[in-house]
Amino acid sequence: MNAPVQPGFDVERIRADFPVLAQQHRGRPLVFLDSGASAQKPRQVIQAMVRSMEERYANVHRGAYRLSEAATADYEAARTAVARFINAADPREVIFTTNSTAAINLVAHGWGRGVLQPGQAVLISEMEHHANLVPWHMLRDDNRGIELRICRVTDAGELDLGDLEAKLADGKVGLVAVTHMSNVLGTVTPAARIVAMAHAKGAKVLLDGSQAAVHRRVDMQALGADFYAFTGHKLYGPTGIGVLWARLEHQERMPPFLGGGDMIASVTLEGSTWAEPPAKFEAGTPPIVEAVGLHAAIDYVSAIGMPALEAHERTLVDHAMRRLSDIEGLTLLGRAQDRGGVFSFALDNAHPHDLATLLDRAGIAVRAGRHCAEPLHARFGLEGGTCRASFGLYTTEGEIDYLAEALTKAREFFA
């Protein structure tokens, strides 16, 4: 499953791999700046999934025939590819879920309800996506005696590490659950430092890597976290598959989240026993074809090389900061020193939905709203939302220039 991409970064050659980018809008190519919500798919991923369905599809793990054995091999090969991609110590640390939201809910159920004790706390931040906020509301509201603490965000859009340290100080925090990269601010949090601070006070750490895993190399050995969640559809793979990386010793302590086939060792009418991890957390028919697609996506970005991808993104971020900062009446949300290719902005006199609609008429696809981060928008006084431009490996400086020109025209229109 090798993607025919050579090391290095040729953005025009890469763009040719994405069929959707060949679309025209009023004589111009589509300018897709919503990869933070869901990235486009290269032909290599599409073809791998079609090949799986046409030639190698069957249910996995239990079939004693050739097709099932082939499908099982492909499914488990995807697990190994994920482990290699994030430098996990053991493929068994990789649990397949449907997306990041499901991965975080698995931790909230298994660790939150199965391991945390009354009187302990979960510590999150103002920066979190709803997927890393709502499950902890639900845990707190279960009347299990679990407290929810919130770390502040600075005016620059960075985690207030002093506040984080203060909220860890009493030793009652059992789990720190924070984003590795904000889907609104583009802020990349100092994850390894956060992990060290939390572990020093006896807390485990869950990192929401939904954005970070797309934009830079992530290394489970270097980060030292306990849980890490990310999703396939932002990583140029299909929807319907996500990953929870969890240390094996933590998986052993956690009860399963869902019950049914494939996650059991034995079942009687009186009770059940669980399979060994990670099967313990993968109930029912898994996302087989989607796992093949995720494997192909990982092969694709790995063939390009994460260092080359990161260098391309740094160039785009620097260029976008220069161009967008020069637009009068445009407010950029967050000015973190370490940031990825996500820019949320508000334009004077323009509702974000109206602005996004106007940009769409120019062939530019951006997000509008509060991006599943309502508390963060409230923190910056933008309860009405923002527009967000988010970059992918196929984004060009010319597209950023075109966005800047369209925003300048929009400012004149709304004025």
Q: What is the pLDDT of residues 350-370, one digit of tens each?
A: 999 999 999 999 999 999 999
Domain residue limits, the chain = 48-302, 305-414
> Under 8 Å CB-to-CB from 385, ≥6 apart: which residues?
352, 353, 368, 369, 370, 371, 377
Q: What is the mean pLDDT of residues 181-205?
A: 98
Nearest to 53 by CA among 293, 242, 239: 293
pLDDT over threshold 70, residue 271: yes
167: alpha, beta or left, given left = phi > 0 and alpha = psi -120 to 50? Answer: alpha
Strands 28-29 and 342-347 turn out to be unpaired
Percent of the chain topping pLDDT 90: 94
Q: Which fold has domain 305-414?
A: Aspartate Aminotransferase, domain 1 (3.90.1150)
> How high is the pLDDT of residue 26?
75
Class of the domain covering 48-302: alpha beta
pLDDT recorded at residue 6: 40
Looking at beta carbons, which pairs linking 303-307 to residues 24 or more positions away fall under 8 Å?
Answer: 303/2, 303/3, 303/4, 303/5, 303/6, 303/7, 304/5, 304/7, 304/8, 304/9, 304/14, 304/393, 305/7, 305/8, 305/9, 306/216, 306/217, 307/217
One-letter amino acid for residue 270 of the chain: E
For residue 24, the model assigns a pLDDT of: 86
Residue-averaged pLDDT of the chain: 96
Cα–Cα distance between 320 and 312 in angstroms, integer?
12
Calpha distance 366→71 (Å, rounded): 37
Other CB atoms within a 10 A radius of the CB of residue 4 amount to: 9
**Distances from the Cα of 189 to the Cαs of 59, 75, 135, 354, in angstroms?**
40, 32, 21, 32
What integer pLDDT is reported at residue 1 of this predicted model? 37
Q: What is the pLDDT of residues 195-210, one digit of tens each?
A: 999 999 999 999 999 9
**Which tokens go with 25?**
């809008």
For residue 20, give the DSSP letter: G
Q: What is the pLDDT of residues 111-138, one digit of tens each?
A: 999 999 999 999 999 999 999 999 999 9
> Are the folds of 48-302 and 305-414 the same?
no
Q: How confident is the model at residue 8 (pLDDT cuts 50, 70, 90)?
A: low
Q: Is the pLDDT of residue 4 over 50?
A: no
- Among candidates 96, 33, 46, 86, which has minimal Cα distance to 231? 96
pTM over 0.75: yes
Which residues are bridge partners to 244 per DSSP?
Answer: 95, 229
Summarised one tens digit per residue, pLDDT across range 285-341 is 999 999 999 999 999 999 999 999 999 999 999 999 999 999 999 999 999 999 999
Out of 4-8, 28-32, 327-331, least confident range: 4-8
* Mean pLDDT value of segment 92-112: 98
- Please tell me which residue in 138, 264, 365, 372 is annotated as part of the active site: 372
Query: Which of 100, 97, 83 is CA-nearest to residue 36?
Result: 100
* CA–CA separation, 386 and 353 (whole Å): 8
Give the pLDDT of residue 62: 84
Burial of 113 per CB tally in 10 Å (0-12, 13-18, 19+):
middle
Known active-site residue 387? no
Amino acid at 129: H
pLDDT classification of 165: cutoffs 50, 70, 90: very high
The pLDDT assigned to 28 comes to 81
Q: At residue 394, does pLDDT exceed 70?
A: yes
Task: Indicate the pairing of strand 242-246 with strand 94-97.
Answer: antiparallel
